Structure 1
Amino acid sequence: MLILNAADVRQALPMTLAVEAMKQAFAAFSDGKALVPPRIHLPIAPHAGVSLIMPSFVDAASTAEQALAVKVVSLFDGNQARGLARLQAAVVVLEPDTGRPIALLDGAMLTAIRTAAASGAATDLLARRDCRTLALFGVGVQARAHLEAMCSVRPIDTICVFSRTPSQVAEFVECAARVLDPSGTRIIVAESPQQALADADIVCCTTTSKTPIFDNADLKPGVHLNAVGSYTPQAREVPPETVRRALVVVDSRQAAWEQAGDLTQPLQAGLIDREHIHAELGELVLGRRPGRSDDQQITFFKSVGLAVQDAVAARVAMENAARLKLGQVVAW
């Protein structure tokens, strides 16, 4: 069995490769070639945690192109006090034609990359080609991954970041400066959401907020939004007025209506109906639905995360790891 730790996964799954992998994953999903059962929620109440079990199988013309994997991802609120990340995860990859376990990957790193890569794929398909200014809400793992994803699909030269936890902003800026071209990119720390959005062409929401994090009136025409922070009906990051006027694309219609508070709450309020979702991202990849209609249109990609992303990302990471001779092989 191949073991890929976080560093191995990071090296084996560069963002540009991950973005293309996510286009493949969503195309397979929208084309009916991916089996993605509802994820199992296992509350761990005594420890203020929850574990999610996410299996997926992706069919293809050959066994080598198929993907079969199961991710177990856990979120424990008390981990930070113990010096641990809130999110803990592992991905088990199985041989598609035998079910034999063949790899174990660090799931936290895989999740960070594939989530941002999905937004990267959506941005590539929906954002204006001339986008250069990025607004980031949040300064955590997903903010960092989204910064990389956005820079991989558009020539970003200005990043404006806003966080309600200013103590973490300096660390984010320092980390971002290490991966960006200092001569061609500037980082601005915004003092308010309004300042962050003033010139934004692309907006990425990566927070754990339960309520909208900016005002609809502060968005300029033609902006593209990605929102990944909320994945329950009780949480949302985007104002309902923005949802109502935007062209909305999701990873999965069913999952969005079940889990995305950014959509379910405006639906319950009567601001939108179930036809308001324009397309699944995979339908754009397949050319079955159009994307942006003009440069003034606001586009919005809402994702809650699908197991098919993990299966495809893990397969691609394994293939690249073999080429680069990464990881450890243990007897099984």
Structure 2
Amino acid sequence: MLNGFRIVCVTPAGRRRYMRLLVPQILSEDVVDEYQIWMNTEDQLDLLFLNELAQIPKVKLVPQPRGIVDGAFTICEFFAGCVDQGTIYIRFDDDIVWIEPGSIRALAETRIRDTESFLVSAAVVNNAVFTNMFQVLGLYDDSQYVHAHAFDEFGWKSGPFAESLHRHALELIGRNQLSTMQFEPRMLAQVRFSINCISWRGDMFSTFAGQVDREEEEFLSVVKPCRMGAVNKVDGRAIVCHFAFYTQRDYLDRTDLLACYLEQVANAAWVRDEFRGAVEQAFVKAEELASKAAERDQEGAAGSSILSRLIASLRFPYLRFRIEWMASADYKRRLVRKFRNWPLIRAGDA
């Protein structure tokens, strides 16, 4: 609780390799009353990891409201459950890899005081619109100017530019100086921005029952505030680091950046050992199962040539087609989707 308000953090989940860093940071913040993990994935090992996290106090798993997962297009359906009076909601993308200490409290305090703004965002490292603000305010010096446009050629698309920005942030984090990039809260123009870390008031979202369009980012950053005659705000005292947009991910995955952030989280004095240990245990369990699955796949691949020859020797084309189809990965995926609610294959029973 903070000044009589419940503070609820949420994450559309989720890729375990990122949430391994994110979850212990959120749970270590004392003002957080509940951490909702929105189950927006069909990856069985990620689901296993998330189900393990459910054993940690404050963590609540929220199933997909309609039971259908379609990537970013089904995140919108979770907002209808985040409209409680007297509650401040703070959403973190699953690949937020660093939260500067005190940022959750600062964002929540701003959101409690501000009853007018539609969204209040943290200042996000690796987010084109906020990179522009860092540059304009003289808080980040780079020869390449980034425009205040969500899909800027460099601020959104360029892997090398994102790497240089992350290296700068990591250097400051290592010296406990990331706070030098902070700035006072200020209004945002009516512009689309990537909603990597946003907050909203439950009472405001209750006025439209939390009904959000499939294109949630466009709807939340531009469409709905325009219709309501409201503005969005950024609280530059709250700083988080966002790992990658899909346009940058292949490049950044070839660097050691994620390992560098993991090291910072592992050594951060403010991250509580009980949460760090519980999350790491869940991650290790999922990775062990992933390793076993990979071994089974290799064994299956070794015998696939024999199976292929047997199938090719069949004299009846239709029978050969049916066997090939039933052996395919697509057929297996269909079986999983059809029977995924059966107890024996629920992630929690793995």
**Fold similarity call, TM over 0.5:** no
TM-score, normalisation: structure 1: 0.32
Please give the TM-score of this superposition, normalised by the length of structure 2.
Answer: 0.30
Give 1 or 2 for the bigger CA radius of gyration: 2
Higher normalized helix content (fraction of residues) = 2
Q: Structure 1 or 2: larger strand share?
A: 1
